[in-house]
Amino acid sequence: MQTAAQSQSKVFMPGKIGSLELRNRTIRSGCFEGLCPGAAPGEALIEHHRKVAAGGIGMTTVAYCAVSQDGAAFGREMWMRSEILPALCHLTDAVHREGAAVAIQLGHCGFFANRSVIGKTPIGPSRKFCLFRYSICRPMTEDDINRVRDDFVKAAQMAVAAGFDAVEIHAGHGYLLSQFLSPWTNHRRDEYGGSMTNRLRFPISVINQVRAAVGPDFPVIIKMNTEDGFPGGLTIAEAVQAAKSFEEAGASMLVPSCGFTARTSFYMMRGNVPIREYVKTEKNPVTKMGMVLFGRLIVREFPFQPLFLFDQARQIKDAVKIPVACIGGVCSLENMDKALNNGFEFVEIGRATVRDPAVIRKMQSGEITASDCDHCNRCVAAMALNGVSCVSEISGLLQS
């Protein structure tokens, strides 16, 4: 039964991102689903987001969509092209019928793109060895930079045509734009490297061009890092500078996250690292052996606590005037109220919706006040099987 506090909670009141009004202040964060066989949206992906929408979320974010084929990392994510627009329209229609809005996360993997998937040497800001892939990328030329920027623009335009309500540009988690921002991956000596102003040049140009292409009112969300999570990476002081620049470039909202996929992948999630499940699902024999021998050394574990990014994200929020979403350990209605009462406009949740797509509806009705997700992170390992799913649904596959 809904309590008086729940009925008055700001969580369930409408909120706006630019010109877009959401029915409440909750957003399903961009969580890679692994539900795109043939690099195209599958029926399972559409049903996955339909269920989250039916479960009461204000907006769901489809992830991860590479802006070009050479931006792919896993082989089960889509890359944007005209051939997949009918399926994307099917997805946006399904979400809209359930009363929610839908965004799509656009990005490029850069130096941790999978060579076996993209069929060529990965690109990045600078030459860099990627332990995640046992590969070395080549530094991007000016032509590469111009092409990838154009790919972001074309992908955003196709997203609008497919009926998405917003685009989220991925400039965090060690993806390509984040690689330009991080001194750990950007060693360039031209106008794209060195000072933070220079390291921002390419990401800012992408945001500028996307904003120009989609018009002044369409929501452009930027996912960014508060820090990379290791010495020599992006710092919170640099992140504050980036946030101000993103706002100036035309961002509608910021989502301050953290971590580097190719180095501190669990810094962005916290909790258990499911090494055993990773080993069972890994197909590459070299990688499988590496995980068996060195998994605990390669993939570092970070303890989970609710709202683990709250303090850092507040520094981003205080530096800009546009809406900022609170992400990271948002597990309960109490967590959500705390974030919104401290100036965040929205809260983003991921694993809680994997555990139960109806978690928001149940919170609003008073059936529950918190998610029962235990942050085991075996859902992450499950992506390599048949797509992301809670361990309760796949425990037989992973434990057999």
In whole angstroms, give the CA distance from residue 239 to residue 232: 14
- Inter-residue contact 244 to 315 (CB < 8 Å): no
* Measured CA angle at 174 (ends 320, 279), to 5 deg: 140
Out of 64, 175, 192, 267, pick the active-site residue. Answer: 175
175 is catalytic: yes
Exposure string of 9-35, with b = 16+ CB inside 10 Å and e = fewer, is: bbbbeebebbebebbbbbbbbbbbbbb
Q: Could you tell me the two tokens for 126?
A: 């600078």
Give 189-204 as a DSSP string: -STTSSSHHHHTHHHH
- Inter-residue contact 85 to 75 (CB < 8 Å): no
Strand ranges (DSSP E) for 108-217? 123-124, 128-130, 135-139, 166-171
Half-sphere exposure of residue 315, counting CA atoms within 13 Å on the CB side? 15
In whole angstroms, give the CA distance from residue 86 to residue 92: 10
- Inter-residue contact 134 to 122 (CB < 8 Å): no
Give the Å distances, CA to CA, from 202 to 92, 173, 176, 207, 235. 30, 17, 10, 9, 19
In whole angstroms, give the CA distance from residue 67 to residue 151: 6
In whole angstroms, give the CA distance from residue 179 to residue 174: 5
In whole angstroms, give the CA distance from residue 269 to residue 361: 23
Catalogue the active-site residues.
Answer: 175
